[in-house]
Structure 1
Amino acid sequence: MNEIKIFCPATIANLNCGFDVLGLCIDNIGDEMIFRKSPQKGIKITKITGADIPYETDKNVAGVAALAIIENLDLEYGFEIEIHKKIKAGSGIGSSAASAAGAVYGINELLGKPYTKKELVQFAMKGEAVASGSEHADNVAPCMLGGFTLVRGYNPLDIIQIESPSELYAVVLHPQIEIKTSDARAVLKPMIPLQSAITQWGNVGGLIAGLYTKDYELIGRSLRDVIVEPLRKGLIPNFDNVKNAALNTGALGAGISGAGPSIFALCKGETIARNVANAMQNAYLETKIPFDIHISKVNPQGVKTI
């Protein structure tokens, strides 16, 4: 096989209580990438659509991730990559993670799968660092593996996959504004009160337990963030009104997707999800800021060949 085309899905990271450790994979939003073997060594990005991002390999998220994987192997050839962006940068639904995860997945497939999907995450993190300034896996892990993922630790990298309850739906409202991950991190405080930490630990444990036991009410009770959301929500116009509209219409929980500006809600069943989407949409219309809204089941597969 000398050429492959893949789909790289969007993701929701943090999930309120799980800052930098929890994420889920969305089913119907994502980028596409094409990979070709090349007689020339190294990585060359030959085409980019949908975004104004660098062609230089060492400045491009996908390029850096791709270099990370091939540097581990003594290859006599290289790869050309086309990147077709459908996830806007700075959207809060894992644009850079899709590029990074897609890059290492595509090359791994053309190489005959020398690495497992879990092993590929460590290479994808190198690309993610180009966009955010740090190697983290809360987006690249669910993009690569699908479902929910918990990053238990980084040294060594320890990722747990969690199957989504079958009736769980995600709603994502994406305002057409950009919040850079680095800017969203700048508003955070390096120290947190002990009581806030205790509350957050309990919610993380409750959310994990709720997913495993398919207890939707427990999932809803646990989708609370007392540490990060209070500091970041001011960056997102009309956030409180949109979140309250979602909760009042039956959402299990709602919050900031990744670093924002996207706002997500988790719902039990498609009917409630559609009602919640309408309510969130109506609440955000007041801002007069253009936006997209998506309704999706949780993607169980992650990045895939198409």
Structure 2
Amino acid sequence: MSQRSSKIIKTVAMVAAATMAAVLPANATATAGEPLTHVRIDAHFDLSAGQMPENIALSRDGSALVTFAASRQVAEVAPGGATRILATLPPPADGGVRTPVLGFPLATGVVRAPGGAVYVLYATGTADLTGLWRLAPGKSPQRVAALPAEGLPNGLALDRRSRQLYITDSVLGTVWTVPTSGGTPTAWSTAPELASTGFLGANGAKVHGGALWVTNLDKGTLLRIPIRSGNRAGVPQVKASGMVGIDDFTFTGRGDEALAALNAPNKVVRIQPDGTTSTVLDSEDGLQNPTSVALRGKDVYVLSAAYTTATDPNLLRARLSGHR
């Protein structure tokens, strides 16, 4: 393992251990009804190269776009696990030591927009690089929206109808919005429910059912924020709680039911519309600090970054049973 990757792992582990309880949520039950089947590891990544997968966006051909946090890269993972680096974001001049909370530069949220453009978030602690970047075929990565250097942009969601992007800031407790064309972001919500309690607050984000849904890693909550006319934010509603360490998530297609990654607890949980949760995957299935969950049809994709386990960052796949 490289000295840089080792330092990053130690930094994340120390901060996480000091600020986050890596425990099973109080209202979570054991795996119930085997909602996931055919569980297997589809790809193993190179920890020594900083390949700690943070976020995922699926393509129609079964491949996946993945951000590697520590190596500042966006990669394409083909069915079967072959990995191809698409872009590497430029390093900050100071090495990223001023990146809030973590102290290293990292690529975070990623989405693919209609037309093929890829958007990725980058946190560096510097004003010249922190923000929203766009990747277009045959072109170098381009920053299209600057974000505060003192923040940590993390989750990224696209409203395909309005072509608005929503960006969570885990340090500033803010959701920003900006059109896919880029420009100056607007602070869409600064509700107290988004704030951290010392580590990372607002995290994963998805547009679903006329609202932006956001997780809060420190508080262990899943929030629903209505999208009002004129792209105004409504009042956040806590839809589920007791999930300290919750990272990114996806909806299953069964109403408001969701699957969510719990990073330090090393679990994926199913969240029912009434807020109850059950564990559907854990370390015995191969999880190593899961960061992101995605779904296409019946196929479930789960990334593990190995931030604190320092073992086998990977892409796990499974089938969602009973899914129509």
Structure 1 and Structure 2 fold alike (TM over 0.5): no
Q: Name which one, 1 or 2, has greater alpha-carbon Rg.
A: 1
**Higher strand proportion, which one?**
2
What TM-score comes out, normalization by structure 2 length?
0.29
More relative contact order, 1 or 2 (CA 8 Å, 6+ apart): 1
TM-score of the aligned structures, taking structure 1 as reference length: 0.30
Structure with more of its chain in helix, by fraction:
1
